[in-house]
Amino acid sequence: MILTYAVFRVIWWVLLGVLLCGFAVMDGFDLGAAALIPWVGSTDAERRMVINTVGPVWEGNQVWFILGGGAIFAAWPAIYAVSFSGFYLAMFLVLLTFIMRPVGFKYRSKLVSPTWRTTWDWILSIAAFIAALVFGVAIGNVLQGVPFYFDDTLRSFYTGSLWQLFNPFALLCGVTSVAMILMQGAHYLVVKTEGAVRQRSMNVANIAAFLLVVLFAIGGIWVSEFLSGYTLVQIASHSGPSNPLAKEVGTQVGAWTINYHAFPAALLAPLLGFFGALGAILLVRLGLEKPAFVCSSVSVIGVVATVGVCMFPFILPSSSMPNSSLLVWDASASEMSLKIMTIATLIFMPIVLAYTAWVFRVMRGKVNEEFLEKNKETAY
């Protein structure tokens, strides 16, 4: 098969989805674990156990976030320009929470004061909650359409505000995101801890997975029965130069379900979201902690993939002027840029994956009080 410009655009749509799934799985469990610090740890030692389960790996997990942002900048410059300027204050809020994480991890145990340590525990927890909520809210707004448009010179204008982002459907998506990262983080803690922390984490994992299933179902009904989606009526070319105004876009309730009717195989994504979470509940009750974590990760991938599949070929629809919506076909970088980036990805992505696998192999095993005592000079 000849790799045409249109094919490279689809390849980078898939790669963007892979990066977002990787971020949701990898950064999801350390965000979830951080969010649960005050809830599953009743003593200082137990809270340190939770912190040190993610201590050696959380910085590496941030690579997925950086790669995702870099991929959007390089492969989809129009999307980067519109989303990062339109969601500027929301992104700043996320950045603030990300700044507090390294500060909290590094300084939390520097003093023995209970007040000092408890304060940082709550800062880490709240920062993780806020980050997960804002990410979900952003996805909810993308599904509804973002208030922006292009003029005749292709300058973009954002017409919304920060508080408009927190509308009912977006908040539903935000709460779903929180449930998802709590499920992922709790299952990770079940794998990495022992005793009371493990038992509390198991309880949280079951509750969060059940809530995810319920909220995911409510969101699906809302999208299919009440939410106005976007449809591509006509486009000038799938392989032509990127021009966001060279198309016609319509809106209709239930439009985001069209891909599932046209391609039944796409239903695999939401099914993974549902049955991955249900499988995690069953397996963790049976004491199969690692398979349960795998099922939780599969559920996370299914939830993220559901959004991408239902929106294709839209990446960033416009509620202000639907014809300004950004698609796979009209928002990408040049063909040469995509080719060069594809070659670089084929070279460096296996290296990143191999290094990540090696790190987790080296850091395998449980984190308990004995571990903290043995590594008291280096542990958080």
Residue 348 has pLDDT above 90, yes or no: no
Instruction: Summarize the confidence of residues 139-161 as an average pLDDT.
Output: 89
CB atoms within 10 A of CB 108: 21
Q: What is the DSSP letter of 280?
A: H
pLDDT band at 1 (very low <50, low <70, confident <90, very high): low
pLDDT value at position 256?
Answer: 94
pLDDT digits (tens, 9 = 90+) for 35-50: 999 999 888 888 989 9
Q: Which residue has the higher pLDDT, 380 or 341?
A: 341
88-97, 250-259, 261-270: lowest mean pLDDT where? 88-97
**Cα 56 to Cα 204: distance, rounded to the nearest angstrom:** 23
Q: Are 145 and 169 in contact (CB under 8 A)?
A: no
pLDDT digits (tens, 9 = 90+) for 182-241: 999 999 999 999 889 999 999 999 999 999 999 999 999 999 999 999 999 988 777 888
- 368 φ, ψ (degrees, to nearest 5): -135, -175
pTM assigned to the model: 0.92
Instruction: Summarize the confidence of residues 4-22 as an average pLDDT.
Output: 91
Instruction: Report the topology of domain 10-370.
Output: Formate dehydrogenase/DMSO reductase fold (1.20.1630)
Tokens 């990143």: give the residue: 352
Residue 267 has pLDDT above 70, yes or no: yes
Instruction: Summarize the confidence of residues 112-139 as an average pLDDT.
Output: 92
Residue 82 has pLDDT above 80, yes or no: yes
- Across the chain, what does the average pLDDT equal? 89
